[in-house]
């Protein structure tokens, strides 16, 4: 028998339209179920007693107990702001009076349209994105952009330049070889990716359609502090900003294209953000798959096909949170403070810990370090995990340790790590 339950105890308890509020204990309530499709309309009245309320409470508790969370130093997917997670939790079941979760909404309905439009507006405000740039919320990860960039910005015989300061830039360069003629104008590989070249010394191709950089190499911990200018006046700078996106202010007008996977600083995996100067849209190679064509996505406001709706919603909550913190200037101050604390601990350890990256280009986001006594690294990671500091193992290609301290890593997390490092050193030096 199908029945409409206008008010069930659980729907009342779970429905929490006021955000930033945790779940309430159920009050005794009266419920009326009206049967439909029965020959004789019947009405059943019942009231939730203390006993039934207890039953509801027997369900596993909602996870809003902050003490259960670890400090997660993972490179991505990475830690998210606790208040954002709790907000999302409070409206997961029913989003703001819509009667459904964001996960269940039509991507073309007014509710989701309001979510994606606000996410875009907040991102524009955060990065002060000029009007002549489009913002696209896509899928496929930054890895898809390694192909989408050359497919959209040049033809097969066009030359483009790549400065490779780490493994991700190298992957982007290799992928571009399928779609145009990329030139490797600088690579830090022989020195194990610990620096960034002086821009004056770069020999750029005069006709390069674009110059590609990865502004923060997640594995090696190398970050651009300023940006090279393309030599070709008609060429543009293209940046993979996956691992330092929204970690500091950026002058977007210096770039033709910025792309980033969301899963480090701004949301869950599954959302890839592309910021592109509008006049660069509409020149894709004929072979470009429809899902890689910026024009298709720009013309359809990122709704050509079903977008990663829930991920976009989460990014929107993060953007809102970053604005509430005072914007990217404030966020950068916090990131600098955290990074300084950690690098100081490494540099002041008298060689017990070592960071191989040249000081002037050390990343504020990903801090790789090794132990002088490398045989102790496994022990370090094990002991840290016992102290609820996890995901400190370096990338398999470089070994050692890596602490990723993105926007959402609280200062307390870095302080705890530093204090652990000092203690570990005292015990093992």
Please identify, using beta-carbon distances, which residue of 129 and 241 lies nearer to ligand PLP. Answer: 241
Question: In terms of C-beta density within 10 A (0-12 exposed, 13-18 middle, 19 or more buried), how is residue 226 classed?
Answer: exposed
Piece of the chain touching ligand PLP by CB under 6 A; list 136-144, 149-157, 228-236, 380-388? 136-144
Q: Smallest gap, in angstroms, from Cβ of residue 141 to ligand PLP?
A: 2
State yes or no: is 423 an active-site residue.
no
Using CB under 6 A as the binding rule, whether residue 76 contacts ligand PLP is answered as: yes
State yes or no: is 58 an active-site residue.
no
| Binding mask of the shown chain, residues 193 to 232, with x at each position contacting ligand PLP by CB under 6 A | ---------------------x---x--------------
Given the residues 122, 158, 161, 168, the one annotated as active site? 168
Given the residues 122, 158, 170, 240, the one annotated as active site? 240
Helix (H, G, I), strand (E, B) or coil at 137: strand
Neighbours of 92 (CB within 10 A): 15
Using CB under 6 A as the binding rule, whether residue 242 contacts ligand PLP is answered as: yes
Please identify, using beta-carbon distances, which residue of 81 and 261 lies nearer to ligand PLP. Answer: 261
Give the C-alpha separation, 322 to 202, whole Å.
36
H or E element at residue 294: helix 294-299
Please identify, using beta-carbon distances, which residue of 13 and 401 lies nearer to ligand PLP. Answer: 401
Given the residues 248, 264, 338, 393, the one annotated as active site? 264
Quickly list H helices, 19-138.
Answer: 50-58, 82-90, 110-127
Nearest of 224, 226, 228, 265 to residue 245 by alpha carbon: 265
Q: Which residue from 16, 159, 165, 243 is in contact with ligand PLP, where contact means CB under 6 A? A: 243
Please identify, using beta-carbon distances, which residue of 243 and 407 lies nearer to ligand PLP. Answer: 243
How many residues touch ligand PLP under the rule CB under 6 A: the total is 11
Q: Smallest gap, in angstroms, from Cβ of residue 58 to ligand PLP?
A: 40
State yes or no: is 95 an active-site residue.
no
Please identify, using beta-carbon distances, which residue of 220 and 338 lies nearer to ligand PLP. Answer: 220
Q: Smallest gap, in angstroms, from Cβ of residue 142 to ligand PLP?
A: 3
Please identify, using beta-carbon distances, which residue of 56 and 291 lies nearer to ligand PLP. Answer: 291
- Long-range contacts, 307-310 (Cβ 8 Å, 24+): 307/107, 307/116, 307/137, 307/138, 307/139, 308/137, 308/139, 308/270, 308/271, 309/102, 309/103, 309/105, 309/107, 309/112, 309/115, 310/102, 310/103, 310/268
Two tokens at 38?
């029965």
CA end-to-end span of the chain: 72
Q: Smallest gap, in angstroms, from Cβ of residue 174 to ligand PLP?
A: 13
Please identify, using beta-carbon distances, which residue of 218 and 302 lies nearer to ligand PLP. Answer: 218
Piece of the chain touching ligand PLP by CB under 6 A; list 236-244, 306-314, 408-416, 420-428? 236-244
Nearest of 106, 111, 2, 10 to residue 53 by alpha carbon: 10
Please identify, using beta-carbon distances, which residue of 152 and 215 lies nearer to ligand PLP. Answer: 215
Residue closest to ligand PLP when measured from CB atoms = 141
Nearest of 299, 292, 295 to residue 272 by alpha carbon: 292
Neighbours of 259 (CB within 10 A): 26
Contact 194, 143 (CB under 8 A): no
| Binding mask of the shown chain, residues 141 to 160, with x at each position contacting ligand PLP by CB under 6 A | xxx-----------------
Contact 130, 253 (CB under 8 A): yes
Contact 371, 380 (CB under 8 A): yes
Residues 254-273 that bind ligand PLP (CB under 6 A): 261
Piece of the chain touching ligand PLP by CB under 6 A; list 240-248, 275-283, 376-384, 387-395? 240-248
Helix (H, G, I), strand (E, B) or coil at 139: coil
Q: Smallest gap, in angstroms, from Cβ of residue 63 to ligand PLP?
A: 26
Using CB under 6 A as the binding rule, whether residue 413 contacts ligand PLP is answered as: no
User: Which residues does the annotation mark as catalytic?
Assistant: 168, 240, 264
Q: Contact positions toward ligand PLP, by CB under 6 A?
A: 76, 141-143, 168, 214, 218, 240, 242-243, 261
């Amino acid at each position: 028998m199908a029945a409409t339950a206008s008010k069930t105890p659980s729907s009342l308890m779970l429905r929490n339209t006021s955000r930033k509020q945790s779940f309430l204990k159920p009050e005794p309530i009266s419920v009326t179920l009206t049967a439909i499709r029965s020959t004789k309309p019947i009405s059943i009245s019942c009231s939730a007693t203390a006993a039934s309320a207890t039953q509801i409470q027997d369900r596993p508790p909602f996870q809003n107990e902050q003490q259960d969370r670890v400090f997660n130093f993972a490179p991505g997917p990475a830690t998210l702001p606790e208040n954002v997670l709790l907000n999302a939790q409070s409206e997961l079941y029913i989003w703001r009076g819509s009667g459904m979760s964001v996960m269940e909404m039509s991507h073309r309905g007014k509710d989701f349209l309001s979510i994606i439009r606000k996410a875009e507006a907040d991102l524009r405000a955060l990065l002060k994105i000029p009007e002549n740039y489009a913002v696209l919320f896509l899928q496929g990860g930054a890895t898809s952009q390694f192909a989408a960039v050359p497919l959209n910005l040049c033809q097969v015989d066009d030359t483009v330049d790549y400065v490779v300061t780490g493994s991700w830039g190298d992957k982007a360069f290799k992928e571009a070889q399928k779609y145009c003629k990329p030139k490797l104008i600088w690579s830090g590989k022989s020195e194990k990716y610990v620096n960034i070249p002086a821009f004056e010394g770069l020999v750029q191709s005069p006709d390069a359609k674009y110059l590609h950089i990865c502004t923060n190499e997640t594995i090696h911990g190398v970050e651009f502090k300023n940006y090279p200018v393309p030599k070709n006046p008609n060429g543009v700078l293209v940046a993979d900003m996956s691992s330092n996106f929204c970690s500091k202010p950026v002058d977007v007008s210096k770039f033709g294209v910025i792309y980033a996977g969301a899963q480090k600083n701004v949301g869950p995996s599954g959302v890839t953000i592309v910021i592109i100067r509008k006049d660069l849209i509409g020149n894709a190679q004929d072979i470009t798959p429809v899902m890689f064509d910026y024009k298709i996505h720009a013309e359809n406001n990122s709704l050509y096909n079903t977008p990663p709706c829930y991920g976009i919603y989460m990014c929107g909550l993060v953007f809102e949170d970053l604005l509430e913190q005072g914007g990217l200037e404030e966020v950068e101050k916090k990131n600098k403070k955290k990074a300084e604390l950690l690098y100081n601990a490494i540099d002041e350890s008298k060689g017990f810990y070592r960071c191989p990256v040249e000081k002037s280009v050390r990343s504020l986001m990903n801090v790789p370090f090794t132990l002088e006594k490398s045989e102790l690294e496994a022990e370090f990671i094990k002991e840290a995990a016992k102290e609820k500091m996890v995901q400190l193992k370096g990338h398999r290609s470089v070994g050692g340790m890596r602490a990723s301290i993105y926007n959402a890593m609280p200062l307390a997390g870095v302080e705890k790590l530093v204090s652990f490092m000092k203690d570990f050193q005292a015990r093992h030096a």
